[in-house]
Amino acid sequence: MLPFHSTDFIIFSVKKDVILKNFIVFEGLDGAGTTTQAKILAESLKKNNKTVFLDAEPTPSPIGELIRETYLKKKASTTMLALALLYSADRENHLNNPDNGIKKRLSEGSIVISDRYLYSSIAYQGVNIDPLIIENLNNYESPEYVIYIDTPVDECLKRIDKRGDEKELFEHKSFLEKTKQGFDRIFSSLPCGVKFICLNGLENIDLLSQHITEFIKA
């Protein structure tokens, strides 16, 4: 048997080249402010009589709960590849679940907002695993909009500390610095048709929200 090399993986871009209209994704480091801004945008769109579904990854599904409540909270350990596989499985269900998946909601006319998507997997899991492997595990469709809140690592850690909770698996400085580099690499090249904006996470909440609203309406 020939030796295996991670570079032997072939990235199939077919799915990534498919754009899911009215699908909006927020990305950023832990503590960047994505959750706050996703909620603000959802409420703003609802006030304009839009049907909006707000979700996040890991999702509330059993797979997502296993990731969030067990592994991210360090109640049990596993390999980084096993965790990456769980994230990909959670995302497959998030997209394609026949009862409440993203594609079903989009087909029914909803605007779907997700706090994190496949870009987080590539940036976070790509720290410890060849990013080519992570990209192949996440060969899913692209959102129409990607909103990246670029917040310095030290500021993110300050915000995490203010929560008063025990830090999760990835919430430490050296890891987040490498993750930020991953985001920078990912967002330097996105499929044609993805509308992308990078925002300064140090701006105040209202100004960030204004930028986001203008971007979505453009």
User: Three-state SS for 111?
Assistant: strand
Q: In 17-34, which positions are buried (b, 16+ CB within 10 angstroms) versus exposed (e)?
A: eebbebbbbbbbbbbbbb
pLDDT of amino acid 138: 95
Report the distance separating Cα 120 and Cα 26, nearest Å: 10
Tokens of 121: 């997997």
Residue 96 reports pLDDT greater than 90: yes
- Indicate if the alpha-carbon torsion angle 35, 41, 45, 50 is positive or negative: negative
Neighbours of 35 (CB within 10 A): 16
Report the distance separating Cα 115 and Cα 54, nearest Å: 8
Per the model's pLDDT, the better-predicted residue between 164 and 56 turns out to be: 56
* Strands, sheet with 52-56, edge to edge from the N-terminal-most edge strand: 52-56, 111-115, 19-27, 142-150, 195-200
- The confidence band for 214, taking pLDDT boundaries of 50, 70 and 90, is very high
The per-residue pLDDT for range 100-155, each reduced to its tens digit, is 999 999 999 999 999 999 999 999 999 999 989 999 999 999 999 999 999 999 99
The one-character DSSP state at 8 is G
β-bridge mates for residue 195, sequence order: 145
Phi, psi of 76 (to 5 degrees): -150, 160
The per-residue pLDDT for range 166-200, each reduced to its tens digit, is 777 777 899 999 999 999 999 999 999 999 999 99
- The confidence band for 62, taking pLDDT boundaries of 50, 70 and 90, is very high
Tokens of 199: 């925002």
Report the distance separating Cα 148 and Cα 68, nearest Å: 22
Note the pTM of the prediction, 2 decimals: 0.91
